[in-house]
Amino acid sequence: MGRLSEVFEVRERYVPQIGRPSYLLVSLPDAGLVGSISGEFLINYLNLREYGEIYSNKHLPPISHVVNGVAKSPIRLYHYDNFLLLHSWIAIPANSINHLANLVVSYAEKYGIQTIISITGVPVPNRLDLEKPTPYWVASSEDFAKELDSLNLMKKFVEGYVSGPYAPILFQSAKKLIRNLLIVVESFLDLPDPEAAAVALDILSKMLGFKVDTSSLLKEAEEIRERIKGLMQQTRQELPNYSGLRPSTYA
């Protein structure tokens, strides 16, 4: 296959062998950092193998993510059994999200990925009053929607708007006939929401077939919020450019 992107460069240390059915998970900072918290939890909990990095001189801010004294790209690729994870440690600039969406779908094509799964939050004004936030699904095709309906793991996001980093991934997936599931969990807008991430991870584990104990997310919620407040601040600055995910009817 030719070059994946004219904008981003992908560097891989090895070619991952992916089981079937195969998935590409995408965790990018957005409302409540639900996707970011979920992705970082999977990296640590399942001890995912980091195998690749994504670079761009023009479309990413001049930031390196330093890990154990080593400077790395803030967008990296991880591998575990039957799925790959594309995880960003920084907020994606609004003018870069379409380019990144093209890369995500091209990368899924390269590895014959059957399903792309993304996780995000939907801000709700009564989030503080919710004992457990409700998860919803958005699908890239009618056939996939019927399948998700039959699983009965989440409610259908009936009507509304998806914008921000995950919207163009849905569009591009539909265009390339790759199944794409967006897991949407009720969340805070600009406060990190580990509880919402725990709900998404429970659903993800049932779909992908791995065991997960999210109790640590709930126990360490305040510690997590404190640790990633810098990422939340950076994401907060981009959220107005994303316009957010605004449902009109989603129950």
Instruction: Compute mean pLDDT per 10 residues along the chain, 251 residues long, and list them.
Output: 73 94 95 93 95 89 82 93 95 90 95 96 91 95 94 90 87 94 93 93 94 86 81 81 50 40
Judge: domain 18-249, CATH 3.40.50.410.
no
Q: What is the pLDDT of residue 38?
A: 96
Rounded CA separation 215/43 (Å): 16
Backbone dihedral angles phi then psi of residue 248, each to the nearest 5 degrees: -100, -35
Q: What is the pLDDT of residue 33?
A: 93
- Enumerate the β-bridge partners of residue 159: 249
Q: What is the pLDDT of residue 226?
A: 81
Cβ neighbours of residue 237 closer than 8 Å, sequence gap 6 or more? 91
Rounded CA separation 133/137 (Å): 13
Q: What is the pLDDT of residue 137?
A: 96
Q: What is the pLDDT of residue 3?
A: 57
Q: What is the pLDDT of residue 148?
A: 95
For 94-136, give the DSSP string. Answer: GGGHHHHHHHHHHHHHHTT-SEEEEEEEEE-TTGGG-SSPPEE
Rounded CA separation 41/235 (Å): 19
- Enumerate the β-bridge partners of residue 53: 11, 76
Helix (H, G, I), strand (E, B) or coil at 212: coil
